[in-house]
Each structure stands twice: as C-alpha cells, then as structure tokens.
Structure 1
Amino acid sequence: MSDNVHYKSNIELTPQEYEELEDFLLHESGLKHPMNLDALDGFMTALIIGPEPIMPSQWLPHVWSSAVVDEAPVFESDEQAKRIIGLIMQMMNALSHQFEESPEDYAPLPNLTTFDSDEDQRKAARLWCCGFIEGINMNQDSWKSLLKDEKGAKTVFAISAASGLLREKLNLDEEKEYELWKLIPEAVLEIRDFWRPGHRRKKPDEKQPKAEAPGRNDLCPCGSGKKYKKCSGQ
C-alpha cells in the first residue's frame, strides 16, 4: 500500500521510504507482531498529542511487538539498524511538524492512502485506531484527566469503538465503525487542544521537541540490550 501514500512535503517519508519501512517491519525483521504503517501512525499520533513526552527507548519496543511479547528485530547490519530507526524517527518528526505548523491540514495515514478495496481501507482505519489506543496505554495515568472530561472521554471512546475492539460489546458492524472513523481527524485535534491550556501550552516562540535518538550510553531502542553507542549509534 505504500506506493499509494500521497506525498506532501520533503519532511515526510517518500512513498519509497514508506515502502522500505513497511517491508522491513512486516517481511524482513523476523518479528511476529510488528506494527504496520497504519498502526504506527496512530501510535505516534497518540504519543505526540498526549500529555507527556515519552522517550524513543520507551516506545520503540512497542513498534517491534504490538502484542504482550518481547521481540527485537533482526538487522542485517548496523547500517540497516541505523536506517530503519532513522526512518521511524523521521516519520515521528514529520507528524510532529504537521501538528506544530499546520494542524488544520491533519489527516491520519489511512485517509492519505489509496486502497484496492473498501475492506482494505476499513482494516487500515481499525489498525490506526488500535495503534492510537496502544499509544494511550503507554502512559495511562497521564491520560486520566482527559478521560474524566466528558467531551474528552467521548473522543477516546469514538477511537476505541472505531478500532473494532468493542464490536461485540457495542453490537457494531464494520459500517458503523467506519462511520465513527470519519470523526477521528476532528477527535484527534480536540484531544491535542485539550492539553494545550495546561502544562503542554507552548510559548509563542516555542517549538515541539523533535524525537531524538537515544544518548550514547542509553540502551539501544532496537531491543538488542546493548548500549546505543555500541549498537545502532556506532
């Protein structure tokens, strides 16, 4: 699906880079439960618009395994590790730049992609929502104030319902879930705005911090267990 992603700026990954990243995650990494690009986009969105920043060393293992299993990718070389982690960081920074510079133009990745069928598009939408929920679960305590707010709780509920995770409980079908999906772009901006009056409010000249590589003495986020300077940071 990566060739059909609509490319918008030189900050974002090109269609070829999206394809390279997706091929690695799904086919070359040796991972059993990796996120695909749609889930990754939703996951990153929650991390970026959420209440507190989370370091790459904390969230990157969730990219490798979206299940409750510890997995680490198999890289052919240090160069490939640097390349793949660099693409993930670039994707994160491009999304952060979008929210910083032109949030009114925001659209989740499934809405920027041409699919072969309606079913493929609906599946991508559900995966995006699952990724977003996983992003919330990275730091549930910090999200509590949003979930206690009536409007905020409704926005998160819409994302949860559109994910397919509540299908049986709410007696939803794919059509109803996809109708909820159409509300998601606005819901994302409402969640982002919820945090802005509080501790995440920016000064006029303040920019969102970019996702940076770990420090050289930190554990490498690739999951190898080595220090970054002796692994991907070489």
Structure 2
Amino acid sequence: MTDTTPLSPLSDADCQRLDELLATLRDRGLDAPDVEFTDGLIAGVVAHPSTIDVSEWIAALIGIDPEDEIPFESDEERAEFIELLDRRHALVAAALANDPDTAQDGDLLDPLIFEPAEGEEDAPLLGEYWAEGFLAAYDVWEDEVFEQLDEEESAYLEDRLADFVELLSPEALGMSEDAAEDDDDLGHEHVDRTDPATRDLDIGRAIWSAHALRRFWATRAAKPKTVRKADEPGRNDPCPCGSGRKYKKCHGAEQ
C-alpha cells in the first residue's frame, strides 16, 4: 500500500503525474508552469512573511481566481492535483523550519530541480525555473512588513533574494548577451554561472537563503512590539483632561 501521509515525499512517479496534470491545465488554456517552477513557488510561499492560503497560491500558480474551480474533467483529478501540491507544501514547510547552519543534509530542503533534456533548445539553466518560482512568490504577494524593515533588515532581505537572482539567466533578467558583456566590462567579476561546480554552489546558497528567510520572518514576528508611551505633561501643567486643574492635582495624582 502506498504511503500517502502528508510528509510522504513525492516519488518520481508522483512528480511525473503532477507534470501531467499541469500539462492538462495548459492544454485547457491556463498559464500553468512546470513542476520545477511550482516547487520554487511553494518554497517562496513557505519562506514568506504572509500566511498565504492554499487556495490562493494554487490559484496564482495556474492563473485563475481563488473562487474558481480548478478546471479538470473529474473531481478525482482535481483532488489528486491538490493532494500532490498539499503534500509537497507540507514537506517543504517541515524542511524550511530547520536551522540551515545546524541541520543535517537530509533535513534541509531538497528542491525538485531537473536536468534539462539533452539537446533541448533554449534550455533553462539548472535550477533557473525553481529560482523563478521562488521569486514569483515575493512578486505576487507584497507584504506591508517589507516597508517596516529597518536598513539592516532590508539589506538582509535583498541579499537573500539576490541568491535566487544569481540562478537566473541574462535572458530571464531581461538582459541581452551584449548587456551582460557590458556588465562585465564595467569591472564586475565575471563568473561562469553555467559551470556545473559553480551552479551547484549557487543552488546550495539559494537553498540556505530559503531556510534563512523562513527563520528571519519567524524570528521577527516573535519579537515583542515596541510601544511608545506618549509624553506626560509636567506636574504643574494643566491636566489634558480639560478640567482646568493642574496635572498633579488631577490625573497626575493617581500615579
């Protein structure tokens, strides 16, 4: 009997089935992505300061309104699709809850990243679609907390998200090859991001940043809010209640 508990990892067959279901939605005219982008979006949702409802992020993933029904032919397909996504979300959430600096390798996030097919034209870089999915979560759901970050916190957030941007190709960033070369000519150190060893390091850094962002937001949310006490009037000042008496003889006498 197949284990379908919430934390049961997606097998190769599960990933293939999810890919088929996403393709079915594309055939029906929806802008559904592939499995790798989907997995990146899930990680971005988990490592986000907002609590994003499952129906909301699934709707955003495939380009429908949250109130709309996912357009599969059968309820069985719809339930299977949601179960696969929900199971993956639970696994990602459990992994990202671990401290990346102390967790064992097996407890860290293991993203669903796939090698491009050999000979595929315009193939993405390894991990590029996963990074795009993660960044999409921060693009789609802007949180007011972003505006409340101090300078140090804002810099930290930018640095963590930059680790995902590093995985994108110049084309994905809207840069032509000439523009990328011009960037190198400006004195920026050139690093071959397509080199397998460099690519593995970049992906590992992005995984670490996903964990770090999850902990960053959790720690920040747990901090007690600073309550600023209003300045009190002087003892001999008029009481602000409007009684006409001195503060020390009115509400100040209660202290």
Instruction: Number of aligned residue pairs: give it.
Output: 189
Distance in 1, Cα, partners of 2:44 & 2:137: 5
- Aligned pairs (5 A) from 1:177-196: 179=198, 181-182=202-203, 183-196=205-218
| CA RMSD in angstroms, aligned pairs only | 3.7
Cα 1:114–1:130, aligned 2, differ >3 Å: closer, same or farther?
closer
2:135 is the counterpart of 1:140:
no
Offset at 1:163?
A: 2.5
- 2:63 paired residue number: 65
Unmatched tracts of structure 1, length 5 or more: 1-8, 202-234
> Sequence identity of aligned pairs in percent?
16
Match of 1:171 among 162, 171, 180: 180
Rg larger for = 2
Could you tell me whether the CA contact under 8 Å between 2:99 and 2:215 is conserved in 1? no
Quote the offset at 1:34 in angstroms: 0.6
* Most deviating of 52-61 and 174-183: 174-183
Which structure features the higher share of helix residues? 1
TM-score, normalisation: structure 2: 0.61
Distance in 1, matches of 2:95 and 2:48, equals 15
Residue in structure 2 matching 1:95, options 92, 96, 115: 92
Cα distance per residue 1:50-69 (max 9 Å; x no partner): 11211112111122139xxx
Matches within 5 A, 1:30-49: 30-49=28-47
Letter in 1 for 2:165: S
1:82-104 deviation digits (Å, cap 9, x = unpaired): 11111111111121122235753
Deviations 1:94-131 (A, max 9, x none): 21122235753223221xx4554497985451111111
Partner of 1:220: none
How far apart are the structure 2 equivalents of 1:41 and 1:23? Answer: 15
- Alignment partner of 2:22 out of 20, 25, 32: 25
Q: 1:128 aligns to what? A: 130
Q: Aligned AA for 1:40?
A: T
Q: For the residues of structure 2 that align with 1:186 and 1:101, how far apart are their CA atoms? A: 10
Q: Deviations over 1:193-218 (max 9, x none)?
A: 221322158xxxxxxxxxxxxxxxxx
Q: Which residue of 2 aligns with 1:106?
A: 109
Q: Which has the higher contact order (CA 8 A, sep 6+)?
A: 1
Q: Is the 8 A contact 2:32 2:62 kept in 1?
A: yes
* Other-structure match for 1:74: 71
1:56: which partner in 2?
Answer: 54
Instruction: Provide, for residues 10-32 of structure 1, a one-character-per-residue CA deviation record: whole Å limited to 9, x for no partner.
Output: 61122111111111102465244
